[in-house]
Each structure stands twice: as C-alpha cells, then as structure tokens.
Amino acid sequence: MNSKRDIFVAVLAAAAGLAAGSGLLAASAHAAETEHSAHVDKDAARDLFNTYSCSACHSLSDAEAAGSVGPSLDNPSLTRNYIIGRVTNGQGAMPSFGGQLSEDEIAMLADYIVEVNHEDHAE
C-alpha cells in the first residue's frame, strides 16, 4: 500500500511541478513577445517592407502602403511573434518569405510594424 501512496505522491508532485513550470513558460513567452530591439532603423525596415512588396498587399501608414489584398498592418493588436510566424511561414494567400529573408530581416520587419503601431498609442 505504501508503494501506491508513494506513486500517487510522486505523480502529484510532478503535476504540481509541471503546473509551476508552465507558469514560468508563459511568463517567459510573454517576455519574449514584448521584447524587441530598443531602436528599430525605421528607414531600413521601411525600405525592406517596400523592396519585398509588402505594400502591394498590405496597408501600413508609416510606409505609405495602401494594399488591400491582405489585412491592414495598422493594427496595434499585431504581435512580434505573430508577424514573425506569418512572414516566415506564410498562410492562406500570404506566401512564405522564410527562404527569401533572413531571420534578422524578418525580426526587423516585425519590430518595425509593432513599433509604428504603438507610437501613436503610447500616450
């Protein structure tokens, strides 16, 4: 009987550890989500946005883009991780740019879009 109790206690402890760990994972995921470079070279990012024809499909005020095929990127709800995933992997009509842009370029685009969306909303 002691062995069943010991197994139960071990399983319960493991479950508690997993629950605590998932809280830490959620906290670190949130930290990574909000983390972006302190300074985005907006001119370079805007040039990249236009060079890869993002403006052909998407609207983004800062880039003077008025595309209407894809969703507007003038959206403060867009997150860095969401943008990185969508640009890297594509989805639906959005092609993947993972093989065309480096991870740094994709991160720069994501940081740029997030930053320009929060400039007007920071006050």
For 45-99, the pLDDT digits (tens) are: 999 999 999 999 999 999 999 999 999 999 999 999 999 999 999 999 999 999 9
Are 51 and 71 contained in the same domain? yes
Task: Tell me if 88 sits within 8 A of 96, measured CB to CB.
Answer: yes
Residue 37 has pLDDT above 60, yes or no: no
pLDDT for residue 77: 95
Are 5 and 62 contained in the same domain? no
Are 46 and 17 contained in the same domain? no
Are 52 and 10 contained in the same domain? no
Residue 8 has pLDDT above 70, yes or no: no
What is the total count of domains within the chain?
Answer: 2
Are 22 and 51 contained in the same domain? no
Q: Is 53 left (phi over 0), alpha (psi -120 to 50) or beta?
A: left
Are 65 and 114 contained in the same domain? yes
Pairwise CA distance, residues 61 & 66, whole Å = 8
Are 26 and 54 contained in the same domain? no
Beta strands in the chain (DSSP E): 59-60, 65-66
Helices and strands (H and E) in the chain: how many: 5, 2
Query: For residue 82, what is the domain's CATH number?
Result: 1.10.760.10
What are residue 65's DSSP bridge partners?
60
Are 59 and 90 contained in the same domain? yes
pLDDT for residue 61: 94
Are 58 and 101 contained in the same domain? yes
Confidence (pTM): 0.68
With cut-offs at 50, 70 and 90, classify the pLDDT of residue 27: very low
Q: Print the domain residue range for 3.
A: 1-35
